[in-house]
Amino acid sequence: MFSQAKIVLTAGAIAFCLLGPAMAADLPPTYNEPPAFQWSGAYVGVHGGTAFTKMPNPFAGRNGFSGGVQAGYNQQMGPAVLGAEIEGSYLGGAEHSVQGGKIKEKWRGAAKAKAGLSFDQTLLFGTGGVALTKFDKGDNVSSSDGWKVGYLLGAGIEQGFAGGLSAKVEYDYVRTPGVETTSTLGKSKTAIGSHELKAGINYRF
């Protein structure tokens, strides 16, 4: 009786050793879902585009080709993304008409708040803040204000990639009130409305 039980136990152990690996091989592989894309963190980048006076033609001769740098920080909370950004741009001498002549935009610095919705690696965002623009005298204008504070509103789309890189397209409208100029017609103050369309690349870290 004892020998029979021993034989049965031994046979069972051998069968388990032989069948165990085969049964494990038949189990479906474990699937680990990749982590969701994250927009949180600091970033730096560059941008280039065009600064122009009137819609809808951003490539007219009165416009200037722009370029610059930006840095900022994003915080993601679910699908919502909030952030802040500073940027500096060279505006290429985009022309604006004033009383008696023209002035040109040469430089701009801006501090902006951002808010958007993320769809995994795609971010749709709006932005708003203050802009400091450097105006130079142009045709028939003997002097201009120089640096002048205005406000900025904009929107854009950004696409994230692996390795911390992302690419964006952004449109900004800048309104600068009370820009003072002097021409042969005397002194005047003009509200300057400027548009900028740009593409950029950011590196997130």
Among 65, 138, 131, 132, smallest CA distance to 104 is for 138
Strand spans (E) along the chain: 41-52, 64-77, 80-98, 101-119, 122-137, 141-144, 147-160, 165-183, 186-204
Q: What is the pLDDT along the chain (205 residues), one digit of tens a residue?
A: 545 555 545 555 564 555 555 554 555 666 566 667 899 999 999 999 999 887 666 667 678 899 999 999 999 999 999 999 999 999 988 899 999 999 999 999 999 999 999 999 999 999 999 999 999 988 999 888 889 999 999 999 999 999 999 999 999 999 999 999 999 999 999 999 999 999 999 999 9
Measured CA angle at 176 (ends 173, 178), to 5 deg: 155
The secondary element (H helix, E strand) that includes residue 29 is none
Amino acid at 66: S
d(CA 171, CA 47): 12
Q: Which residues of 45-74 are buried (b: 16+ CB within 10 A; e: fewer)?
A: bebebbbbbeeeebeeeebbebbbebebeb
pLDDT for the residue numbered 138: 87
CA separation, residue 171 to residues 51, 74, 157 (Å): 10, 19, 10
Matching residue, tokens 């388990």: 16
Counting Cβ atoms within 10 Å, is residue 82 exposed (0-12), middle (13-18) or buried (19+)?
middle
